[in-house]
């Protein structure tokens, strides 16, 4: 909004020029400046919203019972019964307001990012509402969630393909188009229309559900969001600059640099929510936040054409999702045997003797190492 007012509204431009103020506002052209302020703004908005939102959720008794379908784990978490959930209501306004304030709101990629957050936030909110307010234990069925996630992925894929097929410049080439970019390899693989659609569905549905699966301990999911978000903040900035993208052999995507501001808002909101979600948590994120945050980082990976790099940067979420898939498949294949004591895998380590705090901090460290590996791939192409 600030960028739009200063550089797109002629009345404001004339006023600033007439009073000699335009030289002071030129700093708002820089994405790095606006990204930094998006981080700070979303963090402060989270801090400002937190107390009233938590009080409201408590008054409405939006807190779930502990039911992990495991007797030992249910006893471990008995003290958390009644802790307010739907903390995504704290995260999403902070992300949206900070993005609208500091990003170029006319930017195509920013608009799709906001659509992603709102779409999945509403989907998660409906699921939380059914479970916590209507006392429907299961909330939305998995296939119902997937229908809306796939519909969003197809919508994003269509618009990204329409713009990207003529504007995205491939590394080490004068070609333009949609391609799959491989870590450690600088030559991309061109994708057809349906290939890109398939990848978009896997990325959007996969990341949103993977973050949702990781949300089970105080601070685990939201703290684990910080490293990959920081990675894709940097990737967005690089991909939006013709010089940096050429140097690092990543696709040049005109306009996608504004997603660095969007990622800054995600990062600040994650840090702000972590303030209240760290042990002992005053509020839980719920599907309202986890589906939206996961889907948002998946969208940024699609827009920057770095879907496979997301598997590295978000390696912790990948492991969590694979632990659930492997556990269920092995259980069915063997007629009742299990690989892990419990899935997702963070519960396995807790049942092996780690405390909740040890598990969360060690998983954060693991997530940071995955993020470092993802950044390292940019120089190994």
**pLDDT at residue 76 in the model:** 76
Boundaries of every domain in the chain: 32-377
Express each pLDDT in 102-145 by its tens digit: 999 999 999 999 999 999 999 999 998 888 877 766 778 888 99
**pLDDT at residue 21 in the model:** 81
User: Tell me, what DSSP letter sits at residue 181?
Assistant: P
Distance (Å, whole) CA 100 – CA 86: 23
Strand boundaries in the chain, DSSP class E? 179-180, 189-190
Q: For residues 314-334, b (16+ Cβ closer than 10 Å) or e, as one string?
A: bbbbbbbbebbeebeeeeeee
Distance (Å, whole) CA 49 – CA 320: 30
**pLDDT at residue 139 in the model:** 78
Q: Which residues pair with 179 in a beta bridge?
A: 190
CB 216 within 8 A of CB 344: yes
Q: Which residues of the chain have pLDDT under 70?
A: 64-68, 136-137
Helix (H, G, I), strand (E, B) or coil at 84: strand
Which H, E and C letters describe 206-269, residue by residue? HHHHHHHHHCCCCCHHHHHHHHHHHHHHHHHHHHCCHHHHHHHCCCECCCHHHHHHHHHHHHHH
**pLDDT at residue 4 in the model:** 84
Q: Considering the entire predicted model, what is its pTM?
A: 0.94
């Amino acid at each position: 909004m600030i960028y739009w007012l200063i550089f797109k509204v002629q009345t404001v431009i004339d006023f600033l020029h007439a009073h000699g103020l335009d030289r002071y506002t030129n700093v708002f052209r820089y994405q790095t400046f606006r990204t930094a302020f998006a981080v700070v703004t979303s963090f402060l908005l989270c801090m400002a919203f937190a107390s009233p939102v938590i009080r409201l959720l408590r008054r409405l008794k939006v807190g779930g019972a502990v039911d992990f379908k495991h007797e030992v784990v249910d006893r471990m978490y008995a003290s958390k019964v009644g802790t307010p959930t739907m903390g995504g209501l704290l995260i999403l306004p902070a992300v949206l307001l900070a993005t609208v304030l500091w990003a170029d709101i006319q930017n195509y990629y920013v608009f799709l990012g906001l659509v992603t957050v709102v779409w999945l936030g509403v989907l998660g909110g409906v699921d939380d509402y059914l479970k916590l307010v209507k006392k429907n234990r299961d909330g939305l069925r998995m296939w119902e969630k997937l229908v809306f996630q796939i519909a969003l992925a197809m919508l994003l894929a269509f618009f990204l393909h329409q713009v990207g097929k003529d504007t995205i410049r491939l590394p080490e080439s004068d070609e333009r188009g949609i391609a799959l970019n491989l870590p450690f390899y600088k030559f991309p693989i061109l994708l057809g229309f349906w290939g890109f659609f398939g990848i978009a569905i896997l990325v959007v549905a996969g990341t949103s559900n993977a973050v949702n699966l990781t949300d089970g301990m105080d601070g685990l999911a939201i703290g684990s969001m910080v490293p990959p978000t920081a990675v894709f903040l940097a990737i967005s900035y690089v991909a939006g600059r013709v010089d940096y993208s050429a140097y690092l052999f990543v696709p040049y995507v005109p306009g996608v640099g504004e997603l660095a501001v969007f990622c800054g808002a995600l990062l600040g909101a994650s840090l702000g929510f972590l303030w209240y979600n760290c042990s002992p948590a005053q509020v839980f994120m719920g599907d309202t936040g986890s589906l939206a945050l996961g889907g948002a980082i998946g969208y940024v990976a699609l827009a920057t054409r770095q879907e496979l790099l997301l598997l590295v940067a978000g390696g912790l979420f990948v492991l969590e999702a694979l632990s659930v898939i492997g556990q269920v498949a092995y259980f069915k294949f063997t007629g009742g045997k299990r690989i892990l004591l419990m899935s997702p895998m963070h519960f396995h380590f807790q049942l092996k003797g780690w405390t909740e705090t040890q598990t969360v901090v060690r998983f954060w460290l693991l997530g940071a190492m995955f993020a470092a590996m993802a950044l390292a791939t940019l120089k190994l192409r």
